[in-house]
Amino acid sequence: MSTSGPLTDDGLVQLLTPAGERVDHPDYSARVAHLDADALRGLYRDMVLVRRFDTEATALQRQGELGLWAQSLGQEAAQVGSGRALARQDYVFPSYREHGVAHTRGLDLTQLLQLFRGVDHGGWDPEEFNFHLYTLVIGSHTLHATGYAMGVQRDGAVGTGDPERDTAVVTYFGDGATAQGDVNEALVFAAVNNAPLVLFLQNNQWAISEPTTRQARVPLAARGPGFGVPSVRVDGNDVLATYAVTAEALERARTGGGPTLVEAFTYRMGAHTTSDDPSRYRSSAEEDYWRQRDPIDRLEKHLAAAGELPEEFRTALAAEADALGEKIRTYVRSLGRPATSTMFDHVYATPHSVVDAERAWFERYEASFAGGEHR
């Protein structure tokens, strides 16, 4: 890789090398010191299950069961590491590829699929998981997150010293989004309002077919200080480093220290979405390079070298992954058409007379067909 520009390896926080060796970092080692072998196996399990889910969903799209799928393949460490650093009360604004974060927030992964099958605009109650609905418009949700964080601030849920109350807001976006006005506006507003916000940038190096080198002359994290937002670059394929860096940024937000821009340097090993063919714009050599840096492999090597990956654990995890795949397949095939009347349900948060009148008209119209609901 290059030694300057947006793709440099310089300054990446790393705690686990691609070979699975644990290395120390003066600022961040302490933040993962409490993670024992059980916790590491937990992170490993998270990543394996998320990857299996992602693979299954990709296959389901190819079988015509989903209209579209955005793969998270290769970004498991960035998502699981950051997601596992969150506190219960923290609130997440994802884009559309954060399947690993969704998993750490306690969503049943099947809930992500209704949107991609086109039978629901969302699929879950954001309030239940403090996990906002997926946003397909690039970057717009970073402004929503900023506004939400400013609301948290005005609710007085920042800097109280109560670990159950102090709240951080995290928004996930990609390298492509950094070129959008919305993300830059979010940085401006978050900075000047000292919002309790973590701007978690997954630089997977490809904005569909546009490489990061076509969007920046400097590492993307270097943009933060210009807005007055401290930033950090982390090896996004290192689940421990991602955890540590995020934990620090969250702590800063919750304690009133303001926003942080985290650039997790990772790689989109799959296509942008199932509608895309990456072989048309990137080399197989580049893909091989990143396959050597697979986020799951390096934790697996680390655990295996430490003798902390017993055969029974692997077997049980493989069975769990298979069961997850089967469950997802069965679930997706069983999804029915949503009742047409649900289109009126979430237009406004509170009852609205115009919507009620339209719903009543629509119900009369439906009832006018002999034999009940007309398809």
Partner 1 sequence: MPSFQQFRLPDAGEGLTEAEIAAWHVAVGDTVAINQTIVEIETAKSLVDLPSPFAGVVTRLLVEEGTTVEVGTPIIEIDTDPTGEAPADAAPGAGPEVPVHGPTSDADPVQAGAPVARHASAAAEPAAEADEPGGAVLVGYGTAAAPTARRARFTSAEGDVDAGAAGPDATAAGAAPVRPATAGPGASRGGAAAPAPAAPAAMPTVRPGAVPTGEPAAVSGRRALAKPPVRKLARDLGVDLDSVVPTGPGGIVTREDVLAHQAAAEARVLATYPADDQPWLASGTVSPDGRQTRVPVKSVRKRTAEAMVTSAFTAPHVTVFQTVDVTRTMKLVQRLRQDKEFADVRVTPLLIAAKALLLAVRRHPDVNASWDEAAQEIVYKHYVNLGIAAATPRGLVVPNIKDAHRLGLHDLAEGLAALTSTARAGKVTPRDMSDGTITITNVGVFGIDTGTPILNPGEAAILAFGAIREQPWVHKGKIKVRHVTQLALSVDHRLVDGALGSMVLADVAAVLEDPAQALVWG
Catalytic positions, please?
A: 268, 272, 281
Q: Which of 46, 65, 98, 263 binds partner 1 (CB under 8 A)?
A: 65
Q: Are strands 210-211 and 260-265 parallel, antiparallel or unpaired?
A: unpaired
Residues 298, 303, 304, 309: is their CA dihedral positive or negative? Answer: negative
Taking the C-alpha atoms of residue 23 and residue 15, their distance in angstroms, rounded to an integer, is: 5
Q: In terms of CB distance, is 61 or 266 closer to partner 1?
A: 61
Q: 241, exposed or middle or buried, with CB in 10 Å at 0-12, 13-18, 19+?
A: buried
Single out the segment in contact with partner 1 by CB under 8 A; choices: 17-25, 78-86, 329-337, 345-353: 329-337
Q: Would you say 126 and 133 are in contact if contact means Cβ atoms under 8 Å apart?
A: yes
Contact mark string toward partner 1, 110..139, x via CB under 8 A: -------xxx--------------------
Q: Would you say 178 and 215 are in contact if contact means Cβ atoms under 8 Å apart?
A: yes
Q: In terms of CB distance, is 282 or 329 closer to partner 1?
A: 329
Single out the segment in contact with partner 1 by CB under 8 A; choices: 56-64, 157-165, 207-215, 228-236: 56-64
The H-or-E segment that residue 264 falls in is strand 260-265
Q: In terms of CB distance, is 337 or 364 closer to partner 1?
A: 337
With tokens 């006005």, the residue in question is 181
Burial 257-267 (b: 16+ CB within 10 A, else e): bbbbbbbbbbb
Q: In terms of CB distance, is 210 or 308 closer to partner 1?
A: 210
Q: Is 340 in the site for partner 1 (CB under 8 A)?
A: no
Contact mark string toward partner 1, 259..298, x via CB under 8 A: ---------------xxxx-xx------------------
Cα 310 to Cα 34, 41, 294, 316: the distances in Å are 21, 10, 21, 10
Task: Give the total of residues touching partner 1 (CB under 8 A).
Answer: 27
Which residues of the chain form contacts with partner 1 (CB under 8 A)? 55-56, 59, 61-68, 117-119, 274-277, 279-280, 325, 329, 333, 335-337, 375
